[in-house]
Amino acid sequence: MDRRGVMKKSDDNSRRQFLQSMTAAGLGIATSGTMIGTAQAATSVQPESWDEETDVIVLGYGAAGAAAAITAHDDGAQVLLLEKQAADAHTCNSKLCFGVFLTPDNKDDAIAYMKVASRVNVDMPESQDIDDAMITVWAEEMGRNNAWLSELGAPGFVLFAAQGRDANWPGNNAIKAYQIAGSDGRGEVGTGMFDFLHEKVVGRGIDIRWSTPARSLVSKDGEVVGVVARKDGRDVYIRARRAVVLSTGGFNADEKALKTYLPAFPMTFYGNPGNTGDGLRMAQALGADLWHMTVLGGGFKSKFDDFPTAFVLSFGSDAHIVVDKSGRRFKAENHLGGYSGYWNALVYDTVANTWPRIPSWLIFDERRRTAGPLTSTMFGAAGPAAMYEWSADNSREIERGWILQADSIEELAGKMGMEADVLTAEVERYNGFAADRHDADHGRMAQQLIALDRPPYYAMQLLPGLNNTFGGPRRNARAQILDVFGDPIPRLYSAGELGSLYVQYPQGGANVGECFAFGRIAGRNAAAEQA
Amino acid sequence: MRLLKTLAQAATVCLLLQPVGAFAFGSTETVSSADFAALHRYIIKISSADATNSETCLACHGPFTALQQKTADYVAPNGVPVNPHITFDMAMPNDPHSSGKDPIECTECHQPHSIPITEPVPPANTDMCVACHHTGTFRSCSNCH
C-alpha cells in the first residue's frame, strides 16, 4: 500500500488482498444482510484520497454509455466516460451493428408483445421471466426513443422493421424499428448512428477517457463510491459522488464465460473483440445476481482462427445450400436466418455423442462466388467499421483458406473431410429439386431453388453465430443492479446488453433500443443520487 | 378444382346474376345482345376453368393491370403502404419484381371462392410477401443484405 492506503501496481499481494476485500464486500451484503461486515471490509480498502472525482462515472462507451452520459449530463451531473479501447480502435457493438433501434408505436401493444417475448417458453405464460413493472417501463421508455433522438437533432428516421417477429404475438404490428436517416436517404448503420451520439457527447463537453479500462468498483458501506481504472500503466482512483453506470457490453469475447454459460462450443459472435465481460465480473464482485446468461440471438456465422471476430454472412440469391458435417442438408436454407436461427445448429446426436451441425458448411458455385462478397459489407467487421476488407469476388478469402475451392463436389467433400458419396448424392438430389422447383425434403422457397452446377465449387464453414450476449447482472426497472437477494446495490446502475432484460429477442433493433432506453433511465437515476 | 361442374351450376349462376342488373334477362333496355353473348361466353369459360389458375380469377377480377390500379393505395396490416399486386419473375431472383412478368398466382394469398359466393370470403394474407420481406417494410433486400 502507498501512503494513501492504496496498493501500488507492483504490490501484487496487496492487490490480491484488495480484490479479496472488495469481493468480500459484496459477499458481506449477500451473506449477512447487514451493512456492518460490508462497511468494515470496504472501509479497509478505501483510498486516503482519490486521484479525481466526478458525479457519475459511465464505464464503457457504446450506445448505452452514450445515452447514460448524455442524460446524466443534461440532468445536471458532471460525467466521466471511461472506455478501454483507443479512440482509433474503438469497435463497440453499437458501431458494428446495423444501427437499428426499436421504438414501439404505443405502450399497450408493446406491453402485450413483451408479455409474450419475455417468456422462456412463449407457449407458457407462467414462464414470463421479467416482471410486469419492467415490461411497462420498457414499453414506455422504448416508445420515446425516436422523440429523444429528435430532441438531440436526428434529421429523421428510416423504417427498418414494420412489425415484430411473429404475427401471432399480440401487438406485433406496433413493433417498429428505425435507423437514423442519412444524408442519402438511406438509414445510418451502426457507425453513423454512433457518430451521431458521439457528436452529442462531445458537444456537451463530456469528458471521455479512451484507453482507460476500469479494473474494479470501489464500495464503502455497501455503496459504490468509485472506480479503479488503469491509465498509462498506473491505477487511477476516481470517486463517483453520485453513481456508477456499467455499460461495458457483453461477454462475447470472454472465452471462459462462453464456456461457462453457453450450451455448445464453439458459438461465435460478430461483435466487439473487446467485450470480455469486464462489467460482469465487476458487478459479481459486489454480489450482483445474474440473469439471461443463456439468452442469445442470431443464426449462422463464419469465424476464422486468424481473425478476431466472426463475419455476418450474405448468402445471396445465387446457388447455395447448407449441409451438416456429414454433407446432408437439414433445413430449408431460407429458414436458417433470423434471431432464433442458431437453434438449428444446436441439435445433439445422443448416439454418436456429437454435434452434427457444428460446424455446418455453406456450399456454393462459381456464380455465387462472382456475385459479391460472402459477408455483408454494410455492417459488421467488413462494413464501415473497416476491421477487414473482404474482396468483392471472394478471391482473397480463398487465398487465405477461409473459403475452400474444388473443381468437383467430390473433391470439395474431401477438403471438408466428408464422405464424397453423401455430399454428391445430396447435391444431385437438390439439383433435381431445383429442376422441379419443389424441395421435397425441406420445403425451401421455390425462388431460392437454383441448381449448383457451375464449377468450381466452394465451401465455407458455418458456426452457430450470434450477434451478442444478453447475460449479465440483473437489473430492475430503475436500471439498478440487484444483488443475489434482489436488493439494489446502492449507486450502481447498468444499461445495454450487459444484463439485458430480453428473454426472447423481440426484433431487430431491440438491443440498441434498450441501450437508448435504459441508458437514459440509468443516466437519470444516477444523476438524481445525492452527492 | 373446377368452379362449375355441371350445366345446372352454370344455369344457377345465370339466375343469380340476373337481378344484379348488368345482364338481367328480359330487360332488353339495359342488355345488349353483345353483353348477353359475352356473359354466356364467360359462363362457358369458367365452367371448365381451374380455380387455382390465376387466369380464371382474372376473367372476372382482371385484367391484372386493373387490379394493380385498384390496390394502389393498399396498406398492409402493419401500416406500411404497399401494392400487393406485383409480379414475380423467377428468372430474376436478384431483382424479381422489376421485369413486369409473371403475376404471382392469386391463390398464393387469396382463397378461391365458390360461384355464387355462399360463404364469406376470407381476407387475403401477406404471408408470401413477408416470407422474403421479413421486416415487413417491403423494401428491397439489398437495403440490408
CATH number at residue A70: 3.50.50.60
The total number of structural domains that make up chain A: 2
Residue keyed to cell 456508477? A244
Answer yes or no: do A330 and A474 share one domain.
Answer: no
**Residue that is last in its domain, among A415, A438, A467:** A467
For residue A43, tell me if it sits in a domain: no
CA gap A26, A409 in Å, rounded: 59
Q: Indicate whether A197 belongs to any domain.
A: yes
Name the minimum distance, in Å, from the CA of B80 to any CA of chain A: 7
Q: Is the domain of A219 the same as that of A312?
A: no
**Could you tell me how many CB contacts below 8 A there are between chain A and chain B?**
53
Q: Is residue A236 part of a domain?
A: yes
For chain A positions 335-374, those within 8 Å of chain B (CB to CB) are: 337-338, 371
Whether A438 and A530 share a structural domain: no
Do A194 and A187 contact (CB within 8 A), yes or no? Answer: no
**What tens digit of pLDDT does each residue of A420-450 get?**
999 999 999 999 999 999 999 999 988 889 9
pLDDT at residue B125, as a whole number: 82
Whether residue A39 lies inside any domain: the answer is no
pLDDT given at position B124: 87
CA distance A104 to chain B (A): 12
Burial of residue B6 (CB within 10 Å: 0-12, 13-18, 19+) is: exposed
Residues of chain A whose pLDDT is less than 70?
A: 1-45
Three-state secondary structure call for residue B113:
coil
| φ, ψ for residue A214, nearest 5 deg | -75, 135
CA pair distance A75, B64, nearest whole angstrom? 59
Domain end marker among A467, A492, A514: A467
Residue A431 falls inside a structural domain: yes
Q: Which of A160, A376, A445 sits opposite B145 (nearest CB)?
A: A376
B60 touches A: beta carbon within 8 Å: no
Tell whether B132 lies on the interface with A, counting CB pairs under 8 A. yes
Residue with cell 454512433: A194
Whether residues A190 and A244 fall in one domain = yes
B-contacting residues in A 463-522 (Cβ below 8 Å): 508
Residues 6+ apart with CB under 8 A from B54: B103, B105, B106, B107
Same domain, A308 and A200: no
Instruction: Identify the segments of chain B with pLDDT beneath 50.
Output: 1-5, 19-31
Residue of A nearest to B89 (CA): A447
Is residue A301 within a helix (H) or strand (E), and if so which, with residue range? strand A296-301
Co-location of A428 and A395 in the same domain: yes
For residues A176 and A287, membership in a common domain is answered with yes
**pLDDT for res B61:** 87
SS3 A314: coil
Please check whether residues A115 and A142 belong to one and the same domain.
Answer: yes
Give the closest residue to A298 by CA, choosing from A497, A499, A518, A62. A497
The rounded Cα A312 to chain-centroid distance in angstroms is: 14
A83 lies in the same domain as A170: yes
What's the sign of the alpha-carbon dihedral A355, A361, A362, A365? Answer: negative
**Hey, what amino acid is at A423?**
L
Domain that holds residue A524: 49-295+470-531
What's the residue count for chain B? 145
Please state, in angstroms and rounded to a whole number, the distance separating the CA atoms of residues A391 and A377: 10
**A306 and A214 co-located in one domain:** no
Same domain assignment for residues A159 and A230: yes
The domain that contains A325 carries what CATH number?
3.90.700.10
Residue of A nearest to B82 (CA): A162
Asked if the structure places residue A86 within a domain, the reply is: yes
> Is A8 part of any domain?
no
Q: Quick one: closest CA in B to A315, which residue?
A: B145
pTM: 0.85
Q: What is the pLDDT of residues B76-118, one digit of tens each?
A: 888 899 999 988 887 777 788 888 888 888 888 898 887 778 8
ipTM: 0.72
Question: Does residue A397 sit within a domain?
Answer: yes
If asked whether residues A302 and A289 sit together in one domain, one would say no
Which of A439, A467, A495 is the last residue in one of the domains?
A467
For residue B126, the chain A residue with the least C-alpha distance is A167
Instruction: With beta carbons under 8 A apart, name residues in chain B contacting A159.
Output: 80, 137
Which chain A residues have a beta carbon less than 8 Å from that of B130?
163
What does DSSP say about strands A177-180 and A157-161: parallel, antiparallel, or unpaired? antiparallel
